[in-house]
Amino acid sequence: MSSVRPAVVALRAGRERSLVRRHPWIFSGGIAGVEGRPGAGDTVLVEDDAGRALGWGAYSPESQIRVRMWSFDPTDTIDDAFVAGRVVRAAARREALLGSGTDAARLVFSEADGVPGVIADRYGDTVVVQLTTAGAEAWREVVADALFSLPGVRSVYERSDADVREREGLGPRVGVVRGGEPNPDLVAHEGPWRYVVDITGGHKTGFYLDQRHARAAIARLAPGRRVLNVFSYTGAFSVVAAGNGAMSVLSIDSSAPALEVARRNGAVNGVDVGELMEADAFTALRGLRDRARQYDLIALDPPKLANSERQLEKASRAYKDLNLLAIKLLAPGGMLLTWSCSGAMTAELFQKVVAGAALDAGRTVRIVDRLTQPGDHPVPLAFPEAEYLKGLVLEAE
Ligand code: SAH
């Protein structure tokens, strides 16, 4: 077969509209035909039904999202320099953040940085990369080289073990990609605090960089308060609360390894992180309610409870139960910081669910602030799907 003409994905009439608005996804149902035999991750030229070239994308034969766009300019060439350039420019956009009291930031956020399927988080001299799509997988070496070339980076570690890879027909892959073995005592620095980052065994890439705004908010709100940190993971919120003069801190998580890191985080920062409770949050919250416990500041940051729109109804019930229990535990004037990180749940629906919880709890509750993902997890106006973290700061009467 000649390699002169690239594989072409031809869209059905009308299905070019989202592309013209620079939305980067092409679903299998929007495709009229495929010319050539593109393999997983191959670059394809995308054309409208009249044969007009619209741009270039990565082909993903097993995914419902069949093509993810690299470029909306048909005159671009998708090569090593193109992909490396995207990675390096994304990292450059985080330079100001990384120069402002932290050495930990998301360098590359997938579609939001024009590199679909590539996530890279930096912790000091270490970068943790996660590839989630066939297109990202195809450019693995180029992405790794680009990340390793960044000033001060000494190690690139891969955590491509997210479930979403299955939808792309990809198995898990974990390990050192460039440089040395990761430092087992790696810490992220943020303001005066240090957080142990378990990049080999932790969730995601080891730390919840996306809750940076929340850590700052808790620092302001914690002094003198009785704090309850539900779904605490490695206790980042607990460290901030304890370190900023909380009266008491209770952390609840079902993961013993996460709580062990929480304990280490207390030690590393020289603060008493308070009580660490290994328990199911739903059960633990009911137990606290039955004992009529009261808190002045509660953080409620559950894992993604809805993976898709099909799971929204069930997830809404779980979010409501959790928020109902939490609101009941609030002392008069107490504050609840509550999140949904499910992309499938809109901010509007989440607010409705929490409103239902407040109603059932019989409390008057006001939104006094909102806490979303920070700027190193940007949301392109053309790709609102990048927005996933929705948080409400609530005050109960
Ligand atoms: N707020 C944390 C991140 C929370 S991630 C931070 O900023 O670091 C969600 C956490 O929920 C994970 O640590 C996971 O172990 C925990 N988790 C999941 N299901 C749970 C359950 N049913 N009960 C308690 N914890 C649970």
Q: Where in the chain is the domain with CATH 3.40.50.150?
A: 208-396
Q: Where in the chain is the domain with CATH 2.30.130.10?
A: 8-71
- Indicate the DSSP class of residue 308: S
Which CATH number applies to 80-179: 3.40.50.1820, 2.40.110.10, 3.20.110.20, 3.30.750.80? Answer: 3.30.750.80
Q: Where in the chain is the domain with CATH 3.30.750.80?
A: 80-179
| The CATH fold of domain 8-71 | 2.30.130
Compute, in angstroms, the gap from residue 202 CA to the centroid of ligand 1. Answer: 11
- pLDDT for position 204: 87
> Crossing angle of helices 212-221/236-243, nearest 10°?
30
Task: HSE, CB side, 13 Å, CA atoms: give it for residue 8.
Answer: 17
**pLDDT by residue (tens digit) across 300-319?**
999 999 888 899 999 999 99
User: Would you say the CB of residue 85 lies under 6 angstroms from ligand 1?
Assistant: no
Instruction: For residues 196 and 300, give the distance between their C-alpha atoms in angstroms, rounded to a whole number.
Output: 21
Amino acid sitting at position 360: D
- pLDDT for position 1: 43
| The CATH fold of domain 208-396 | Rossmann fold (3.40.50)
Residues annotated catalytic, as ranges: 341
From 254, 322, 388, the mutation candidate for ligand 1 (largest count of ligand atoms within 8 A of CB) is 254
Nearest CA to ligand 1 atom 16: 231
Q: Tell me the whole-structure pTM to 2 decimals.
A: 0.96
Nearest CA to ligand 1 atom 11: 231
Compute, in angstroms, the gap from residue 270 CA to the centroid of ligand 1. Answer: 23
pLDDT over 70 (residue 3): no
- Quick one: what percent of the chain has pLDDT higher than 90? 94
User: Would you say the CB of residue 322 lies under 6 angstroms from ligand 1?
Assistant: no
Q: How long is the chain?
A: 397
**pLDDT by residue (tens digit) across 239-249?**
999 999 999 99
User: Would you say the CB of residue 255 lies under 6 angstroms from ligand 1?
Assistant: yes
User: Would you say the CB of residue 254 lies under 6 angstroms from ligand 1?
Assistant: yes
pLDDT over 50 (residue 362): yes
User: Please, what's the largest Cα pairwise distance for the chain?
Assistant: 74
User: Would you say the CB of residue 160 lies under 6 angstroms from ligand 1?
Assistant: no
